[in-house]
Structure 1
Amino acid sequence: MRLVAVGLPVASRSLGRVQELHDAPLAPLTTFRLGGPATRLVTAATDTEVIAAVREADDSGTPLLVIGGGSNLVIGDKGFDGTALRIATTGFELRGTTLELAAGEVWTDAVARTVEAGLAGVECLAGIPGSAGATPIQNVGAYGQEVSSTITEVVAYDRRAGETVTLSNEECAFSYRHSRFKSDPERYVVLRVRFELEDAGGLSAPVRYAEAARALGAEPGDRVPLADARKTVLKLRAGKGMVLDPEDHDTWSAGSFFTNPILTDEQFADFHARVRKRLGDGAEPPAYPAGKGRTKTSAAWLIDKAGFTKGYGSGAARISTKHTLALTNRGGATTEDLLELAREVVTGVRDAFGVTLVNEPVTVGVSL
């Protein structure tokens, strides 16, 4: 794989097929286009190369940062003092309704191919940036679908055991935007992901998300032509700046920067009271069942009602002009600029509603 896109390193060399760079810029490898350099950047194109690079770092006690599509990373301005491993593996294998993807496969391209094959289950996840290997880590979801509904197994390198393991769906411990891989980030490196899709005669899985159903002219629970579902989701995402476009600074982001808060009954009652005090007695916040005694509300709604409108900000880091849930680099921003904006939003929402927003992207060398 050619590495011209990563910038001008101080030094580089090729070890067999493995590409190695030193003092390598990481900003071009992230959708935010932010962050300082890595001491060393290794690009691995096979599972064997990935494992070898991980073992080398572990054996030498070198800090390791794994990068896939870079769509869920906020890297500090000082960069990463260690080895950054870019996973560039490829592999799309379809057997009947069973799909296996290499971790480095571009996710949105894989979704397009499943739709072309007439298989349902991930069509509403079209347009999500990043690689296939990141999807189980975050339990990626959008428009009524989550990968946890279709993932059957994840093949990963277990750094603690020093061996490759296969984890079942149950062993992945999926929950809302969370998984075993996210709760123990230093242990596993995802190599391959296996899905069980559905042959519904060219139709989608039942459309669960009301906004998508309306855009499709359907009712929630209806099935629609697969291609229509994918096309509609892409259009909805593009309208919110959620489909990568190098010319559109609204897409210089990590998509949704904050997760939707899940509140206990007691927390929701306090939140509800604060909403009515601030917005009036008839005000009702978004509320969705999230398990026994738990309710999910909308982070985007909270941000907007706390006074942070689309386009908010005065510097090079601002809220998207299309969607309040996305924080963006308008060009020339630093990671610290982005974090200052994020902290301002978190504080404003907490002061207004008593709810603390949690960042969805992984932070490297920095924190909110």
Structure 2
Amino acid sequence: MLDSSLTQEIAAVDGAELDPDVTFADLTTLRIGGKPRLSVRCATTGAVAEVVRLLDRSSVPLLVVGGGSNLVVADGELDVVAVIIEAADITLNLANSVVVAEAGAEWDDVVSLSVDAGLGGIECLSGIPGSAGATPVQNVGAYGVEISDVLTRVQLLDRGTGEVAWVDAASLELAYRYSNLKFTNRAVVLAIELQLRDDGLSAPLRFGELARRLAVSAEENAAGTVRRPVALVREAVLELRRAKGMVVETTDHDTWSAGSFFTNPIVDPALADQVQARVAAERGEEEAARMPRYPAGEGKEKLSAAWLIERAGFAKGHPGVGARAGLSTKHTLALTNRGDATSEDLVALAREIRDGVYAVFGVTLVPEPVWVGVKID
């Protein structure tokens, strides 16, 4: 129970500060969401740990917030305490190319500092909004690189025991947009450790769009061994992301989003065949031959959510002028707040897109963000 006594205990934690005015609309990149019962800004990882312990001991619902780039939050008054992580130290050890970032560090700052130091491995993750602490939770990835490629350890607060410890990345069961931290609330990420490269070159370029931008031939791209200077790759990635509205800009409503809203579906080859046959029947063999489908391990294949959305009849900017929530005018995988959208506006749009793709292709798109107080079903 959150009473005045517990509130006073929280306020007395060194490095913690109560914020009576902030809303989730202020804390999320979608700029949607109501007011928590209490908001606590934590300037240190120690403050985060102690505040969470106090709330858990009293069974008070809480939501840990970093950059807020992966949250869909209900409007109105919410019976939850927002624990806002502002611990943001970033340490680069150039002797061994290890980077340690506290959970509240802005992720792109981690990338920028690493690239400026000539360290390679995360340049393809440039421009991704949100905090460093969020990256292992859903194994953030882009342009052929995932955080699991470089993540070595994570500092966690175990909410069951209240203990803080560094754990090996292998214990997180990292997979495509998944870790065993996601949707479980079993632990809070306090810091991450990355092992980067010291030769000034990028991770191998495997993603076609980025490879073409960097003049990598189709043969070289297929081999997946070409590397380029990290600064050059970072700039190319930022250019691609800006063109898609995937770099947050206050004045651009296309960037008022939660990034890629749906994960790329992982399906059985038989279903991928059915989808491709449907495309061939309705759009021709040439279009079907261009359908993105990639091996995804264990007898599965990965399809492109954006490609399916577009072929299901949803164009950029859908549903059009005047809508409070709509697809980005630059990229169909981003659901955006056009300025004054409510959570229900966004949920209705997400449901329309998901159901429309299923009706045409029999593929169920799965939302990537964390939902707080609202559901798609």
The answer to whether TM tops 0.5 is yes
Map 1:222-301 → 2, pairs under 5 A: 222-282=226-286, 283-284=288-289, 285-301=291-307
Could you say which residue in structure 1 is the equivalent of 2:194?
195
Could you say which residue in structure 2 is the equivalent of 1:72?
70
Could you say which residue in structure 1 is the equivalent of 2:88?
90
Could you say which residue in structure 1 is the equivalent of 2:101?
101
Could you say which residue in structure 2 is the equivalent of 1:6?
none
User: Which has the higher mean CA deviation after the structures are superposed, 212-221 or 358-367?
Assistant: 212-221
Distance in 2, matches of 1:158 and 1:105, equals: 20
The alignment partner of 1:313 has SS state of coil
Is 1:345 the counterpart of 2:345? The answer is: no
Letter in 1 for 2:311: K
Distance in 1, matches of 2:284 and 2:166, equals: 52
Contact 1:252–1:330 at 8 Å: present in 2 too? yes
Letter in 1 for 2:123: E
Q: TM-score, normalised by structure 2?
A: 0.91
Corresponding residue pairs, total? 354
Contact 2:272–2:293 at 8 Å: present in 1 too? no
User: Which has the higher mean CA deviation after the structures are superposed, 316-325 or 275-284?
Assistant: 275-284
Identity percentage over the alignment?
50
How far 1:106 moved relative to its partner? 0.5
How far 1:79 moved relative to its partner? 4.6
Contact 1:35–1:78 at 8 Å: present in 2 too? yes
Could you say which residue in structure 1 is the equivalent of 2:128?
128
Distance in 2, matches of 1:246 and 1:258, equals: 23
Contact 2:145–2:203 at 8 Å: present in 1 too? no
Is 1:175 the counterpart of 2:175? The answer is: yes
String of CA shifts for 1:230-255, please: whole Å, max 9, x gaps. Answer: 00000000000000100111000011
How far 1:313 moved relative to its partner? 1.4
**Structure 1 unaligned spans of 5+:** 1-12
Distance in 1, matches of 2:118 and 2:57, equals: 45
User: Which has the higher mean CA deviation after the structures are superposed, 345-354 or 23-32?
Assistant: 23-32
Distance in 2, matches of 1:36 and 1:99, equals: 35
* RMSD after superposition: 1.4
Could you say which residue in structure 2 is the equivalent of 1:161?
161
Could you say which residue in structure 2 is the equivalent of 1:333?
341
Contact 2:183–2:370 at 8 Å: present in 1 too? no
Could you say which residue in structure 2 is the equivalent of 1:4?
none
Letter in 2 for 1:329: N
How far 1:343 moved relative to its partner? 0.5
Residue of structure 2 aligned with 1:43, choices 38, 41, 44: 41
**Structure 2 unaligned spans of 5+:** 1-9
Distance in 2, matches of 1:346 and 1:26, equals: 25
The alignment partner of 2:92 has SS state of strand
Map 1:5-20 → 2, pairs under 5 A: 15=12, 16-20=14-18
Distance in 2, matches of 1:134 and 1:79, equals: 25
Q: TM-score, normalised by structure 1?
A: 0.93
The alignment partner of 1:181 has SS state of coil
Letter in 1 for 2:317: G
